[in-house]
Structure 1
Amino acid sequence: MELKYEFYIGATPEQVWNAFVSPEGTRKTFFGCVIDSTFKEGESMAYVGPGADGDQTVHVYGTIAAYKPHEVFSFIEHPGPSYHPNHEELESRVTFTLEVVGGCTKLTLVNDQWTENHPSLENASGHWWMILSNIKTVAETGKTLDFGW
């Protein structure tokens, strides 16, 4: 199974990148989370923020597969421990790619290599639309979308 999304964003690659990688950006676009990582290939990463285990809830964790600023960010991920007791066995790959198209930036997200019967697949297919729409809005306007939560 592969989830694939493409968005055209009226912002520079740097602005789009910052919306989904920088602490200021991820707090806005990933519901208060920041990425805890050195951003070196082969090293660990985690999305940490408010959730079931308090302000330091690990929502997703894994290993950096590729990291080239303003071009590609890819990681192998597992759901956080508070989501599924067998979280270590569950895995998928997430890859963000940026490219300049005219005066805008094309953001492509591919979420693939899902473990068979992964319980987060259905949830991810809906939540990516919200996250990517938020990234587009933040990169273009600096404001977040109000999902009414």
Structure 2
Amino acid sequence: MSLQQFKYVSYIAAKDTEVWNALLDPKMTQKYWGHVNESDWKVGSRWAHIRADGSEIEDVTGKVLLVHPPHHLVLSWQEADSHHGAVHSSQVSIALESLGTDTRLTVIHSDLQSGSLSYQDVSEGWPAVISNLKTLLETGKVMDNDIWAAN
């Protein structure tokens, strides 16, 4: 099966340091992502994407591959396929470019199997996550939780 990548670019009316902090702060990720991202954010460290519903279920885990605050974060991304029992591994690169008081955020999720459920989840999930992050940073509140029902 061939591998694909998903790329998503957004412009956020917030400084790159604010966006960076929102990507790593568990209290912030819980607000806009519905998950807590836990790690010490050092190269080689484990990170986990844990449901914020109290179940402590880790939907995604991986390793921190590169950290260059506040510009670049690269993570390995491993998620279980609940339908087939297999683990899919991919990689996420998040780049922030300062545009004065605004930020260009680019997410590249690579090594995804073409036509897989993971590719579909990523291509629908990242736009929802980044849109909710953008809304939170620009308005101080998140979008209606119904955005997750569509994904």
For this structure pair, what is the TM-score category when the shorter chain's length is used for normalisation?
0.7 to 0.9
Q: Secondary structure at the match of 2:67?
A: strand
CA distance in 2 between counterparts of 1:133 and 1:94 reads 17
Aligned residues: 144
Residues 10 and 105, structure 2, Cα contact 8 Å, conserved in 1: yes
RMSD, matched Cα: 2.0
- Aligned counterparts, 1:9-24, within 5 A: 9-24=12-27
Q: Secondary structure at the match of 1:5?
A: strand
- Residue 38 of structure 1 corresponds to which residue in structure 2? 40
Residues 42 and 64, structure 1, Cα contact 8 Å, conserved in 2: yes
CA distance in 2 between counterparts of 1:124 and 1:118 reads 10
CA distance in 2 between counterparts of 1:25 and 1:14 reads 14
After TM superposition, the score normalised by the length of structure 1 is: 0.86
After TM superposition, the score normalised by the length of structure 2 is: 0.85
Matched, 1:138 2:115: no
Gaps of 5+ in 2: none
- Residue 61 of structure 1 corresponds to which residue in structure 2? 61
Residues 77 and 89, structure 2, Cα contact 8 Å, conserved in 1: yes
CA distance in 1 between counterparts of 2:125 and 2:22 reads 16
Q: Secondary structure at the match of 2:55?
A: strand
Residues 92 and 112, structure 1, Cα contact 8 Å, conserved in 2: yes
Gaps of 5+ in 1: none
CA offsets, 1:71-108, max 9 Å, x none?
11110111147575112xx1111111111124311101
Flag as ranges the 4+ runs of structure 1 deviating above 6 A: none
Percent sequence identity over matched residues? 30
